[in-house]
């Protein structure tokens, strides 16, 4: 069996290229929590045969996660991957994002497979459930059968237990909701009646109240109300509210997922827009590591590699982000800026990036082709 990038993967991600944004979100969450993923085209090395790479990755993986959508249901490539996984005895976990019935080909392999339903709940929460489910499978010792009944019981349970649990939860949520609302009201009253600090304006106090109220709504999963509060605060220049709106759009929490709109809120939270329409980081802006990485990723996927490289390198230098180091190297590689690509590949490897093995191979290709010289 040939080598697989990133060492041995835990999970093979099968998806339609039309749903790459969803696959990216799943991979990002799993890998941030220590679960190694393999998915194309990221993990196919230059010059490596596509089919061979996929076969090797499937043989090495423990689980295949199927991003089940209308598009993947019709994808011949996805069908081939499912067939190979079935033949290799992999555990297949379909992550259902549509209620469309399975094609007859998929139904043959997945009739008796347990599905994770992600049609209605916010995507981020469903990905968390998926991660917990996958973690249970891959952490089960070899030769033993994963005890998936615990998770299924938590999801279904007996009707009596569900009723009792629902009642307890409802009462708890109601009490917490009342306390939160009282806390917000008292906080707003205190802010309005206390002596103003020097330099503090009425607008600033109202903005803080809107942001805090938005957080209380968000904590209760009342997303439309939270968004309305965040939007009011953002209009007054509250950058924390801008980031909160960016998170909601980027992750699809309480709103249809829209990474581009999420990125715009992130840019407003972190940057100054220049006269030529480009953005540069504002020293007084929010410089959150995940947010800056997401900004760079959106530029990268639009093939705006120079701008992507700017945000990745700034994130790496300011926050020490290991993920941003690797992303910076890839952005410079696409720009054919071999010297900077080499520098950031080396930094990512030294910092313990999970893709270090793949990055070392990229360095080897550059050295062999005479694109860079070893210092």
Predicted pLDDT of residue 161: 44
Predicted pLDDT of residue 159: 38
Predicted pLDDT of residue 163: 44
- pLDDT tens-place string over residues 92-136: 999 999 988 888 888 888 877 878 888 877 888 899 999 999 999
Cβ contacts of 189 within 8 Å, gap of 6 or more:
none
Predicted pLDDT of residue 18: 86
Residues 177 and 83 in one domain: no
Residues 15 and 150 in one domain: yes
Residues 167 and 127 in one domain: no
Cβ contacts of 282 within 8 Å, gap of 6 or more:
270, 271, 272
Residue 66 contacts residue 85 (beta carbons within 8 Å): no
How far apart CA 356 and CA 346 sit, in angstroms, is 9
Cβ contacts of 347 within 8 Å, gap of 6 or more:
316, 325, 329
Write the CATH number for 117.
3.40.50.10140
Predicted pLDDT of residue 5: 37
Residues 84 and 147 in one domain: yes
Write the CATH number for 367.
1.25.40
Residues 47 and 177 in one domain: no
Residues 123 and 185 in one domain: no
3-state secondary structure labels for all residues of the chain? CCCCCCCCCCEEEECCHHHHHHHHHHHHHHHHCCCCEECCCCCCCCCCCHHHHHHHHHHHCCEEEEEECHHHHCCHHHHHHHHHHHHCCCEEEEEECCCCCCCHHHHHHHCCCCCEECCCCCHHHHHHHHHHHHHHHHCCCCCCCCCCHHHHHHHCCCHHHHHHHHHHHHHHHHHHHHHHHHHHHHHHHHHHHCCCCCCCCHHHHHHHHHHHHHHHHHHCCCHHHHHHHHHHHHHCCCHHHHHHHHHHHHHCCCCCCCHHHHHHHHHHHHEEECCCCCEEECCCCCCCHHHHHHHHHHHHHCCCHHHHHHHHHHHHHHHCCHHHHHHHHHHHHHCCCHHHHHHHHHHHHHCCCCCHHHHHHHHHHHHHCCCCCCC
Domain region containing 362: 303-375
Q: Are β-strands 271-273 and 279-281 bridged in parallel, bridged antiparallel, or unpaired?
A: antiparallel
- pLDDT tens-place string over residues 59-92: 899 999 999 999 999 888 899 899 888 888 889 9
How far apart CA 133 and CA 117 sit, in angstroms, is 12
Predicted pLDDT of residue 162: 43
Predicted pLDDT of residue 305: 87
Predicted pLDDT of residue 88: 84
- Parts of the chain with a pLDDT under 50: 1-6, 152-165, 194-205
Residues 28 and 112 in one domain: yes
Among the candidates 112, 138, 155, a domain finishes at 155
Task: Take residue 259 and report the two structure tokens written for it.
Answer: 């990474």
Residue 38: C-alpha distances to residues 8, 24, 175, 290 (Å): 9, 11, 44, 21
**What value, to the nearest 5°, has the Cα angle with vertex 263 and ends 260 and 265?**
115
Residues 85 and 102 in one domain: yes
Confirm whether 4 is domain-assigned: no
Confirm whether 3 is domain-assigned: no
Residues 168 and 130 in one domain: no
Residues 233 and 317 in one domain: no
Residues 268 and 312 in one domain: no
Among the candidates 286, 312, 336, a domain finishes at 286
Confirm whether 291 is domain-assigned: no
Compute the Cα dihedral for 68, 73, 75, 79 and give only its sign.
positive
Confirm whether 294 is domain-assigned: no
Residue 94 contacts residue 126 (beta carbons within 8 Å): no
Confirm whether 45 is domain-assigned: yes
Among the candidates 116, 136, 155, a domain finishes at 155
How far apart CA 44 and CA 54 sit, in angstroms, is 8
Entry pTM: 0.49
Q: How many domains does the chain have?
A: 3
Residues 19 and 145 in one domain: yes
Confirm whether 5 is domain-assigned: no
Confirm whether 297 is domain-assigned: no
Confirm whether 292 is domain-assigned: no
Residue 98 contacts residue 45 (beta carbons within 8 Å): no
Task: Take residue 219 and report the two structure tokens written for it.
Answer: 């904590």
């Amino acid at each position: 069996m040939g080598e697989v990038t990133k060492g041995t993967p835990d999970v093979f991600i099968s998806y339609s290229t039309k749903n790459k944004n969803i696959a990216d979100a799943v991979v990002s969450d799993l890998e941030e929590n220590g679960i190694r993923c393999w998915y194309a085209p990221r993990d196919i090395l230059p010059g490596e045969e596509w089919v061979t790479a996929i076969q090797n990755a499937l043989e090495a993986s423990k689980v295949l996660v199927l991003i089940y959508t209308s598009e993947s249901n019709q994808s011949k490539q996805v069908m081939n991957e499912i067939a190979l996984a079935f033949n290799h005895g992999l555990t297949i976990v379909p992550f259902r994002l549509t209620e469309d019935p399975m094609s007859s080909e998929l139904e043959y392999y997945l009739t008796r497979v347990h599905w994770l339903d992600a049609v209605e709940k916010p995507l981020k929460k469903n990905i968390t459930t998926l991660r917990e489910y996958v973690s249970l499978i891959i952490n089960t010792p070899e030769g033993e059968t994963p005890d998936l009944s615990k998770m299924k019981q938590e999801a279904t349970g007996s009707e009596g237990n569900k009723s009792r649990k629902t009642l307890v939860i409802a009462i708890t949520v109601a009490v917490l909701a009342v306390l939160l609302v009282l806390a917000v009201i008292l906080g707003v009253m205190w802010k309005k009646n206390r002596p103003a600090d020097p330099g503090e304006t009425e607008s600033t106090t109202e903005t803080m109240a809107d942001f805090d109220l938005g957080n209380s709504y968000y904590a209760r999963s009342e997303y439309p109300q939270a968004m309305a509060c965040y939007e009011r605060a953002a209009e007054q220049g509250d950058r924390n509210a801008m980031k909160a709106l960016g998170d909601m759009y980027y992750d699809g929490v309480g709103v249809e997922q829209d990474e581009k709109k999420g990125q715009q809120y992130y840019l407003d939270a972190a940057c100054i827009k220049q006269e030529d329409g480009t953005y540069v980081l504002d020293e007084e802006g929010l410089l959150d590591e995940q947010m800056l990485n997401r900004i760079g990723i959106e530029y990268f996927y639009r093939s705006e590699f120079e701008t992507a490289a700017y945000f990745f390198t700034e994130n790496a230098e300011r926050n020490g982000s290991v993920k941003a180091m690797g992303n910076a190297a890839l952005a410079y590689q696409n720009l054919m800026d071999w010297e900077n690509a080499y520098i950031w590949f080396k930094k990512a490897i030294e910092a313990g990036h999970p893709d270090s093995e793949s990055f070392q191979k990229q360095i080897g290709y550059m050295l062999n082709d005479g694109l860079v010289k070893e210092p």
